[in-house]
Chains A and B, each alone.
Chain A
Amino acid sequence: MATIVMWTCIAFLLYVHVGYPLVLWAWSAVAGRAVRKNSWEPTVSILIAAHNEHDTIERKILNCLDLDYPLDKLQVVIALDAPTDGTDLVAAAYESDNVHVVSVRKHLGKAGALNRAVAASRGAVLLFSDARQRLDRGALRELVANLHDPEVGSVSGELVLLDDSGREAADGMGLYWRYEKWLRAREARIHSMMGATGAIYAIRREYYKRMQPDTILDDVFVPMSIVLRGKRAVFEGAARAFDRVSASPEVEYGRKVRTLMGNFQILARMPALMSPLHNPVWVQYMSHKAARLMVPYAMAALFVANLFVRDGIYLWLLAAQCAFYLLAGFGGVLSHRGAAAEVAAPVMATASIEGER
């Protein structure tokens, strides 16, 4: 029995981390579809939910107004989510034909604030962004070009993480981040990504589905609700937003917990994602998102089952698992001493992007 459990877990873990990427690689090579991009200039509303963003909101507004896009077709909507630090005073100073401020007295959370922002917007295209990330000047044009394709309902840009010196932290992040980006690109080429980057994604207005105010991952809910309507959620690497990576892996851990809690919430609120009859990217969703939520339990089951089977190669497998967890503990000690934070934090941070996992 223990042997069966072990091999089932091993097969599962291998599929999630090796088999699925191989399937994606072959699938995208055979059935990949390019987006029919075209230059056009629809009206655009940039939607920003802001709670306490006193230090960032002014620069964000100026950043949005400086984008390479005609101002007469651009609207910035700031949904103030009951700020207590004077964010409202800063934002109010910029109210104009291009900047609309929506005040929410009771703290709703991001999704609730975004609902209000959408209701107050007028653009044919909605660009969602956060207050703290800076958008590249040409990002909006790059996103909008993808939405010219009638099959595309949502397009995500790329969040670039910077270190303290302003360099791209992602360059030094190694295998994990490159692996994730590779998966997303292949998934988007076949049909759709399994979400978007909250810092920068755009949709056609008619596909916006109102969220419950306590929705944690708007950047998964909104694009996946569009995918369930049969439209594509694609990726545009030339549309970039910039953020700084947090210094502490433990802080990033908290962020990651939030993201993963949000993924469980999405599963509960969008059961159609679990149905191959309703979800056009069911295989990808189950393999990339749902299966990964099961990885820790498969690893735990593998370890426990291995304790009962310790002969031959199984002893080596047990030794390898013990070594892995000892190294993990050693890494934890290093991290707490600050020696490893500069490496571990970026990896954790990138894992939190786009509701990853």
Chain B
Amino acid sequence: MMKKALLFPYTFTLLNLAAVAGLYHFARRTAASEIWSSSHHVHVFPQGAGH
């Protein structure tokens, strides 16, 4: 719990930096194909879920 409280400023700031970076990439017209491929980082199908 303490760790989570400590990390709130970090994650909040990271989210805001991401908003700035998002605008930067949008203004630079970064190719959607680059965004598409870079978003593929979780490939493990979840186990023990559902049903």
Contacts and interface: CB of A to CB of B under 8 A. Distances in A.
B interface secondary structure, majority: helix
Interface residues of B, number: 43
Contacts, number: 172
A246 B39 CA distance: 11
Contacts of A251: 41
A257 B9 contact: no
B45 A176 contact: no
A178 interface: no
A256 B15 contact: yes
Given A133-B46, A249-B11, A52 B40 contact: yes
A135 B49 CA distance: 9
A86 B11 CA distance: 37
Interface in B1-34: 3-4, 6-23, 25-26, 30-33
A357 B16 CA distance: 9
Nearest to B35: A258
Interface in A246-261: 246, 249, 251, 253-261
Contacts of B51: 136-137
Contacts of B35: 216, 258, 261-262
A16 B18 CA distance: 18
B40 A51 contact: yes
A177 to B, nearest CB: 11
B11 to A, nearest CB: 5
Contacts of B10: 327-332, 334-335, 340, 344
Interface in A169-214: 174-176, 213-214
A33 interface: no
A41 interface: no
A51 B15 contact: no
B41 A357 contact: no
Contacts of A55: 43, 45
A295 B45 contact: no
A282 interface: no
A166 B16 CA distance: 30
Nearest to B15: A351
A281 B45 CA distance: 35
A213 B35 CA distance: 13
A316 interface: no
Contacts of A325: 9, 13
Given A135-B50, A264-B26, A327-B6, A295 B16 contact: yes
A132 interface: yes
A260 B21 contact: yes
Contact of B49 (A166, A257, A328, A357): A166
A347 B20 CA distance: 18
Contacts of A295: 16, 19
B41 to A, nearest CB: 5
A245 B42 CA distance: 8
A255 B32 contact: no
Nearest to A331: B10
B11 A176 contact: yes
A340 B19 contact: no
B25 A261 contact: yes
Kindly list the 8 A-B residue pairs having the minimum CB-CB distance in the complex, ordered from nearest. A331-B10, A260-B22, A166-B48, A242-B49, A214-B32, A296-B16, A328-B9, A264-B26
Given A257-B25, A296-B20, A324-B9, 4 more contacts: A175-B8, A261-B26, A296-B17, A340-B6
14 contacts: A55-B43, A109-B33, A136-B50, A162-B48, A166-B46, A214-B33, A216-B36, A243-B46, A254-B38, A260-B23, A261-B30, A264-B23, A265-B26, A348-B14
